């Protein structure tokens, strides 16, 4: 018996290779890996929720109100908001949270508890007793977004100049 050397010309392949599609596949893998790495890094930096890219501080024009919040959040995930009223001579400190706040967020936690809390014309009003004369009052809110997309809120203290902030909620 004579052994025959088989060459590529004699072999049959189940799928014929096409150099064009091999090149396309290689490019898709390369750019897909780059896109995946970019998405992971953006997520770690806070583009989709809490993190460096998300942390924001808004201060009213009259310097009486400071709001620290996350610009980006995820649907049904907790967001933190810290509202600080600087020292005031008023007997009561009244925070008004308006804009899309009542429609777009559910309050999970509120510290400290207000003396009064009510809604008025689609706005949430929180009334607190004035702390010591030169002490600021800080309120911490734990929020849960109820919808996706942009949400614009207006927050003011004692009907002074409001702070307008925008948050984007990812699905």
What pLDDT band is residue 34 in, cutting at 50, 70 and 90? very high
Nearest to 118 by CA among 109, 110, 127: 127
> What pLDDT sits at residue 134?
75
Segment 4-11 shows an average pLDDT of 62
What pLDDT band is residue 1 in, cutting at 50, 70 and 90? low
For residues 47 and 53, the answer to whether their CB atoms sit within 8 Å is yes
Q: What is the DSSP letter of 86?
A: P
Segment 113-127 shows an average pLDDT of 93
Reduced to 3 states (helix: H, G, I; strand: E, B; else coil), residue 140 is strand
Segment 3-17 shows an average pLDDT of 67
d(CA 163, CA 146): 22
User: Residue 89 pLDDT > 80, yes or no?
Assistant: no
Token digits of residue 110: 């509120």
């Amino acid at each position: 018996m004579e052994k025959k050397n088989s060459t590529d010309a004699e072999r049959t392949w189940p799928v014929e290779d096409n150099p064009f599609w091999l090149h396309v596949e290689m490019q898709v893998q390369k750019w897909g890996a780059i896109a995946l790495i970019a998405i992971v890094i953006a997520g770690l930096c806070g583009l989709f929720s809490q993190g460096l890219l998300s942390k924001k501080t808004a201060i009213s024009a009259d310097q009486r109100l400071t709001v620290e919040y996350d610009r980006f959040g995820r649907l049904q995930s907790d967001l933190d908001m810290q509202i600080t009223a600087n020292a005031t001579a008023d007997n009561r400190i009244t925070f008004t949270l308006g804009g899309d706040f009542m429609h777009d967020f559910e309050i999970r936690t509120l510290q400290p508890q207000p003396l009064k809390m009510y809604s008025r014309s689609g706005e949430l009003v929180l009334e607190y007793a004035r702390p010591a004369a030169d002490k600021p009052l800080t309120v911490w809110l734990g929020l849960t977004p109820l919808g996706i997309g942009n949400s614009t809120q207006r927050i003011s203290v004692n009907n002074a100049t409001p702070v307008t902030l925008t948050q984007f909620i990812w699905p």
